[in-house]
Amino acid sequence: MRNDKEIPIEGLIPGGKDYDSFQPDRFKQLQAANGLVSYYHNHLLHIYRPEEDGLHLLAQHSTDSLQQLFGPAYKEETTLHPVEGREGVFWLKLKEQLVIADMANLKVLNQMAIKSEWEGFDYNATAQCFAYLHENGLFLLDTEGRSTLVYQSEEKAVTAGQTAARDEFGNEKGTFWSNDGQKLAFFITDQSHVTEYPLVDIANPIATLRNIRYPMAGAPSEQTTIGIYDLATGRYVTIEKQGMPEDYLCCVAFTPDSRQLIAAELTRDQQHCQLNLFDTETGRFQRTLLAEDDPKYTEPEHTPLFLPGKDELFVWQSRRGGYNTPYLYNMEGQMVRQLTNLEGEVTRIAGYSKHSDQIVFECNAFNCAARTLMAVDMEGNVTLLSDKDSTNRGTLLPYGYYLCETESPTTPYKVTLHRLGGALCEELHSSKNPLEGYAVPPVEMGTTTLNGHHLCYRLIRPTDYKAGAKYPMVCYFYGGPHVQLIRNDWNCGTAGFEYMMAQAGYLVFTIDPRGSANRGKDFEQEIWRNIGGPQLEDYRAAVEWICHRESGIDRQRIGVYGWSFGGFISTSLLLKAGDLFKVGVAGGPVTNWRLYEVMYTERYMQTPQKNKEGYDQHDLSRFVKHLQGRLLLIHCNTDPVVLWQNSLSLLKQAVTDDKQIDYAVYVGHPHNVRGPERVHLMKKVRQYFMEWL
């Protein structure tokens, strides 16, 4: 019997009260550290010890028992950080307290009071202290609760220990411990030359001003170096940076013996990168281990991976050959060999197994939308560890085991235990279909050739789709670097927005155009100096193609939705392809790349001084006069990523050009709307399409 029960919007949208009930039942915080495996599942913390004959349960604790130990501040979302070298010991942050606990035996070992404004905690078990950030300074906090100043400038625009380059180039934090725990490296970033930008908080009757440093394309940028603090002497040195003050630093790591520091130095134009070696006692430059040049841009993102027991060797990831690939180097800077030679991206290195002398990695060489788990030895011999057409994520364990988390368009989520040869040992978990019993809109995923490139697409039809009838179509687009929408995940990676619109009677269409992620360097670099240009060509061709193929599409009722880069794309299509798109919703859109930050924008567009034509072509205020359909702009007023000024400037130009643009603001949210209010946002988007499309 046909089931007409729809998935509720509260179950489709993150933040909705029923959202978790409609997601696959997954292991949470699955990790392997210090010889143990831990994860949350079914309101239980599971801890296993791998042994020669498989996994053995060491401990299992309910959320209630953990809250009895830690108090009501403990939640299942509380992150457990393994303490290196101590079996079953983790540290966690609970409101105004740091706790080190033996989670296997439910015993608190240390607890330290902290202040709510402290952040960026980074623990080292050998030093037995945390690095943390407060205001613009970097401090240490020992397990007795004593604080020590590492570095703080009197100039508030100079920060210590904070992430550099606005989190670009793989920079996820700004502190780095040496292996022996005796030294702490940290970014020192001078933003005094960077323009202050105002964000206004209206939570109180008298609005307050919060200034952030925001380096716009072509403007003065931050100047970063690295300090190295010696815990024994209480002194620090700074490295002898080799490039210009505004060159970027990333990929920071100590050598295994803690005597040297490695850092990648990238020129501001991002066309030249050097991996340099520095002495940790003096900060002096010693030598360049390797250099990479690209006439468009090179983008180092991965810290060198040292191999335990092979201290003179490290793995460096690079796209110099067209795809992200691991290369084996020695400490003299000589390339030992290219480890893989695959027609696809190595998307993640899971780690090195000393047991089999192999590096385990994930790649999309067999299917650009999939993630295949593989292993390679030091001679370059590759072993297949998973199937080729699903999405697989590996977690390495001792004794030559690994865990594989798998999902596919028809597999919600499962976890299996394997030997490193690939042999299956046991299935630990398999999630049921969380949408069983509901009328799920049918999803089609495939590839098509447009503009000389194979592009992945996804099409979702309304639940009650009838041949011969005409339906409106909404396109869900992003199109920028670092994002891939079409994936061999559960339900083909479909977003809640897409199901929501399909249930409302719309076809929903998505493609990954040139410039999007995980298709190789050449595919991405098509957008160089013309960000948005190739994407719009591909989107137009794709919509023409799907309309020709699908007779059920009403060509007079086609809309587009996207956020951030997708907001830029949605706005561009309404202004530049108004013959195809009648309605658009653009959230957090970049409308003028001169208003976006240096690191991202200059990688793809160079500076406005070098590429005036490119910036002018994608300054959307120049095209508002061409608007024919309905356009809704949405922005968050405290957005520190895509500044509110972007959409406000476009709105101002619309008034000048006598064009009507609809507008909505979500107050107090940063770059996107999270939590329960996201449901409100999605209802607004749906309502707009239903009203005008």
pLDDT of residue 3: 65
Across-strand partners of 94? Answer: 97
Q: What token pair was written down for 359?
A: 């590096």
pLDDT of residue 203: 86
Residue type, 438: Y
> What's this model's pTM, rounded to 2 decimal places?
0.96
Low-confidence ranges of the chain (pLDDT < 70): 1-3
∠ CA 252-125-224, nearest 5°, is: 25
Q: What token pair was written down for 121?
A: 């905690």
| Active site positions, annotated | 564, 639, 671
Q: Which domains does the chain have, with CATH numbers?
A: 24-113 (2.40.10), 117-301 (2.140.10.30), 304-433 (2.120.10.30), 443-692 (3.40.50.1820)
Q: How many residues comprise the chain?
A: 693
Assess contact for 236 and 151: CB atoms under 8 A.
Answer: yes
- Cα 678 to Cα 10: distance, rounded to the nearest angstrom: 10
End-to-end C-alpha distance for the chain, whole angstroms: 32
pLDDT of residue 76: 86
**pLDDT tens digit sequence for 212-262:** 999 999 999 999 999 999 999 999 999 999 999 999 999 999 999 999 999
**pLDDT tens digit sequence for 498-534:** 999 999 999 999 999 999 999 999 999 999 999 999 9
pLDDT of residue 1: 35
- Cα 379 to Cα 365: distance, rounded to the nearest angstrom: 20
- Cα 48 to Cα 37: distance, rounded to the nearest angstrom: 5
HSE (CB half, 13 Å, CA atoms) of 99?
21
- Cα 551 to Cα 499: distance, rounded to the nearest angstrom: 21
Residue with tokens 């011999």: 381
Helices (H) and strands (E) counted in the chain, each on its own, are 10, 43
Residue type, 432: K
Q: What token pair was written down for 304?
A: 């060198």
